[in-house]
Structure 1
Amino acid sequence: MKWTLILIVLVSLLSCSDIEKKKDTHITTVTYIEDAPKLDGRPIENFWNTLEWYPIDQNWIGGPFEHTDFNGKYRIAWKEEGLYLLLEIVDDSIYKQAKDPLKLWWNDDSVLVYVDQDNSGGLHRFNSNAFTYHVALDGNVVDLAEDKEAHFFNDHIISAHKTEGNTTYWELLVKVYPDTYTTSSNVEPAVLKKGDKIGFALAYGDNDQSEKRENLIGSVFIPGEDKNQGWINANSFGTLILDK
């Protein structure tokens, strides 16, 4: 009986450690911008050129792919109302097949934005401890909610994209919501400020006209064999530090 109780305690402690973010990883310092860009998929604003490109190059799901099949990178900035993102995606085939945007949405080409407002890490599959937003080609934004169903989160992310040849530019405004958010609440997005730490990652779901998604390519390294952790556990996110 004594050893059974000890075992239960040990398992509980291990379980708690698995869902708490132990340290900041993949730290990115994010620059403040005075003027918001026009979200039109045309990155003509001068400030975009002053920001560093970060790669989207970690293969989380799928087999090897050629550079001509996919390569991606992004820039990021912030204002009080949210995070501004510019993505450059080179993809030889952009594919959308789902007729119902709330079913099998993950199998289409899409941008995935992972956000944890307080950088706390932990499980978030059916709660707002963190979010995994799927931004579809038609602009719909989908994630799972507390009722274990898929919902639109179109007011959380505003996006636009334009494609020329094999290159697509995406511009996004990502509003950052706290863990008190529910689909039935009136919780407002956080007002961002210098010094904030936000859990964050990006990914691109790539499908070259197959029945199922072929690759999920992310922005942060995830150790171990199962790298598709972000949609369940925010421990796998990187960390943004907002600066002026």
Structure 2
Amino acid sequence: MNNRVVSKNYKGELPAGDQSARFRVAWDEENLYLRVEVEDDRFLVSPELWERPKAENSLWVHDGALEVYFDTGADGRTNLEKTFDDDDYRYDFSISKTGESGPGQVNRFREVYHQLADGIHMPTKAEVAEKVVSDFQRTETGYTYTITFGQRYLEPLMLRKGFTSGFALYLHDNDEPMLGYCPKGLSLATQAGAACDYHPELWPLMILSE
């Protein structure tokens, strides 16, 4: 991940080694697996942020929060409105409330239209938070995410050879304890300096292969 995004309001420095990340994706007929390995010169744990109302729905305020996007119809480039549509997901991940390594927080921030994903039986947000597995591990130089998405939590994306979807990541970074949000990060958007939220036309295409 080498597309750096910096808020216009950010006045701090960007030292060498500020943040770097790489990712790997694998799949089988039951699960999609994502691993993100991050080096970060300063990783902040902010337990006070969990005291905010509906904190579980605002994981993006935490240092190291990860946004994962799927355009299950791979139609972001042909959407004339250039924004989310009915076949897009956004999943958010963060460190746990304890601030320790282990199972991390999971939130399905945005979901596809329910009729595309098993109708009235579509997984609830609560089920997603329990069943989408996210392991967050602190390391000497940063942290890692190891995430498992079951097929049920990606529909109508199909885990089969040749299936194409949009796929993107955005990784938050904050070096200032009192800031309360993350003013910079790393993005997979295809436009330099652009984040991924609300811009599926900038998400790379992912083609499942053997």
Give the TM-score normalised by the residue count of structure 2: 0.69
- Counterpart for residue 99 of structure 2: none
State the 1:78 CA deviation: 1.1
**Which digits, 9 at most, give the CA deviation of each residue in 1:18-60, with x for residues without a partner?**
xxxxxxxxxxxxxxxxxxxxxxxxxxxxxxxxxxxxxx12123
Partners of 1:175 and 1:211 lie apart in 2 by: 32
Paired residues for 1:16-27 under 5 Å: none
State the 1:206 CA deviation: 0.9
State the 1:104 CA deviation: 4.0
Partners of 1:129 and 1:176 lie apart in 2 by: 15
Over the residues paired in the alignment, what is the CA RMSD in angstroms?
Answer: 2.9
Partners of 1:191 and 1:155 lie apart in 2 by: 21
Residue 17 of structure 2: which of 60, 68, 83 is its match? 68
Residue 49 of structure 2: which of 82, 95, 98 is its match? 98
Amino acid at match of 1:134: D
- Counterpart for residue 58 of structure 1: 3
- Counterpart for residue 184 of structure 1: none
- Counterpart for residue 238 of structure 1: 204
Q: Is the 8 A contact 1:124 1:131 kept in 2?
A: no
- Counterpart for residue 165 of structure 2: 198
**Which digits, 9 at most, give the CA deviation of each residue in 1:158-205, with x for residues without a partner?**
210211222212111134669xx9xxxxxx664410000010011211
Aligned residue-pair number: 174
- Counterpart for residue 95 of structure 2: 137
Name the SS of the counterpart of 1:154 in structure 2. Answer: helix
Partners of 2:202 and 2:152 lie apart in 1 by: 19
Summarize the Cα distance change of 1:128–1:81 in structure 2 as closer, same or farther, 3 Å threshold: farther
The gaps in structure 2 that reach 5 residues or longer are 97-103, 113-124
- Counterpart for residue 113 of structure 1: 68
State yes or no: 1:87 paired with 2:53.
no
Partners of 1:189 and 1:134 lie apart in 2 by: 19
**Which digits, 9 at most, give the CA deviation of each residue in 1:72-99, with x for residues without a partner?**
1111111112321111111121333421
Structure number having the greater helix percentage: 2
Q: Percent identity?
A: 20
Residue 162 of structure 1: which of 137, 141, 152 is its match? 137
State the 1:124 CA deviation: 5.5
Amino acid at match of 1:130: D
Amino acid at match of 2:143: T
Greater CA drift, 132-141 or 101-110: 101-110
Partners of 2:86 and 2:149 lie apart in 1 by: 15
Summarize the Cα distance change of 1:145–1:102 in structure 2 as closer, same or farther, 3 Å threshold: farther
Summarize the Cα distance change of 1:196–1:243 in structure 2 as closer, same or farther, 3 Å threshold: same
The gaps in structure 1 that reach 5 residues or longer are 1-55, 182-187
Greater CA drift, 206-215 or 193-202: 206-215
